[in-house]
Amino acid sequence: MQTIDTQSALPPELMKRIVWRLAPLMVLMYVANQLDRANVGYAALTMNAELGMSAAQYGLSASLFFLGYILCEVPSNLCMHRFGARRWMARILVTWGLLSSLTSFVPNAQWLYVARFTLGVFEAGLYPGMVYYLTLWMPARNRVWMMSLFTMSIPLTGMIGAPVSTWIMEHANVFGVTGWRAMILLEGLPAIVLGVVAWFYLPDGPHAWRGLSEKERQTIRTALAGEEQAASAAVQPGSARRALTNPKVWGLGLVYFGINSGIIGLLYFLPQVVKTFKGSAQYSLTQIGLITSAPFAVAVVSVIVWGRIVSHKRIHARDVAGPMLLSAVALASALYLPSPLATIAVLAIGTSACFCSISTFWQLPRNILTDRAAAAGIALITSIGVSSGFVMPYFIGWVRDTTGTFQLAFIGIAVAMAIGAALAIALDPERRREPAASMALK
């Protein structure tokens, strides 16, 4: 896993045009994605009681989403490689938006299980598809900043989605259904609208954007060619099959497992954590949403600043492992603090560090994967990482039911992140080269 060559970059004016063409729609798509994926966490504040679900049963419903997602991740990304980003992204958005809205009509826990599993099937491929899509447009140095904008969508969803979702639950009246049902019904609609927009607006690649001249297309091809040559020299996974059996790809997947464990715990359980604060019985649903949004608001700013910092340097494994370890320490200690204010402050640090690790992490796969192998390999990395979404929600819910608190559950999340950070360092070739260079100097 070579480090990124930061000398390969697009001219600033060309990069600016590409960002303005792609970033607004991509950010909106991923905000809608995260909202429809995680709004069940806000719904759980009242849904669990209405459907007669325990914390472990709620965790199982969250886990089943990721089972469907994992099973269809690689096939979906290969379909995008074959049919193009415009058609496949539009299909993903429309089908998941429809099913997300229909989830509001589930009558019991069993039907919620079915709906969440199917939602994962329909949504599969969006995130790894967009990661792969960016590799068609720009080299790694430019992608660090672009991925920071893309990653910002996740905490941005928490910042906006928490107060909006809880407000809808308290105040919206749609067809006379209960608040959590109205919230899920309404929040599926933006994905459908964005699917239609993507069909008409999203180009399949630089070759399909009429706003580029042939000279600009050649500039992009030249910048990407050097990066592909370095990747080929590093590992040479010439096919999807070789990418899927590459140990380094699997190692990266396990690192992402650790990162995603933190994201899962925060997105799906932070509202319920806030509900357990001392004196929280006096909080309204909207107040719980506002408190929940605070760590995500800090993370939005942190991700943007971090993206600016790392876009001007070479990316090393420590740029992934460092934030992961900081997040692990924060999440493990936050729920043991004496006051809700201190807990939220430390959770804000942990949330920010967790999301900062993503933008640097996703620069590593392109160093060893190109073309069809990149589509398959990135999907496999995502599938392994997202499998934490199958394991962690049920684990967290079970620990909550067993112990009555989320403290040990968050320690479990921290352990997964610490292991991922250690693995990232172990995979870094710079770690092995530096001692050798020191010996040579002696």
> What's the confidence (pLDDT) of residue 329?
97
Least confident of 138-147, 155-164, 235-244: 235-244
- What are the pLDDT digits (tens) for 5-54? 445 678 889 999 998 999 899 889 988 988 888 889 889 999 999 999 99
Identify the band that residue 240 occupies on the pLDDT scale cut at 50, 70 and 90.
low
Structure confidence at residue 182 as a pLDDT band (50, 70, 90): very high
With a CB cutoff of 8 Å and minimum separation 6, the contacts of 310 are 144, 148, 319, 359, 360
The pLDDT score that the predictor gives to residue 442 is 45
| Terminal-residue alpha carbon distance, the chain | 27
What was the pLDDT predicted at 413? 96
pLDDT (mean) for 256-278:
91
Q: What is the mean pLDDT of the chain?
A: 85
Give the least confident one: 106-120, 236-250, 416-430: 236-250
Residues of the chain with pLDDT > 70: what percent? 88
The answer to whether 284 touches 170, Cβ cutoff 8 Å, is yes
Residue ranges covered by each domain of the chain: 12-431
Q: How many CA atoms lie within 13 A of 202 on its CB side?
A: 27
pLDDT value of residue 145: 73
pLDDT recorded at residue 238: 52
Cβ proximity of 99 and 44 under 8 Å: no
Question: Is residue 417 a contact partner of residue 324, using CB atoms and an 8 Å limit?
Answer: yes
Summarised one tens digit per residue, pLDDT across range 283-300 is: 888 899 999 999 999 999
Span 369-397, pLDDT tens digits = 655 666 677 778 888 888 898 889 989 99
pLDDT at residue 366, as a whole number? 63
Q: Has residue 62 got a pLDDT over 50?
A: yes
Q: Are 274 and 280 in contact (CB under 8 A)?
A: yes
What local confidence, expressed as pLDDT, does residue 241 receive? 67
> Is the pLDDT score of 434 beyond 80?
no
C-alpha distances (whole Å) from 265 to each of 332, 346, 404, 407, 414 are: 12, 15, 16, 12, 10
Can you give the pLDDT at residue 369? 61
pLDDT > 90: what percent of the chain? 45
Mean pLDDT of 424-431: 74
Mean pLDDT of 126-146: 81
Q: How far apart are CA 105 and CA 173, in angstroms?
A: 15
Looking at CATH, the fold of the domain delimited by 12-431 is given as: Growth Hormone; Chain: A; (1.20.1250)
Distance CA 94, CA 149 (A): 23
Beta-strand (E) ranges in 122-246?
Answer: none
CA neighbor of 272 nearest in space, from 178, 152, 404: 404
- Note the pLDDT tens digit of each residue in 314-354: 777 888 999 999 999 999 999 999 899 999 999 999 999 99
Residue 433, CA distances (Å) to 72, 315, 321, 428 in order: 38, 15, 18, 9
Does the pLDDT value for residue 71 go beyond 90? no
| Radius of gyration for the chain, computed over Cα atoms and rounded to the nearest angstrom | 21
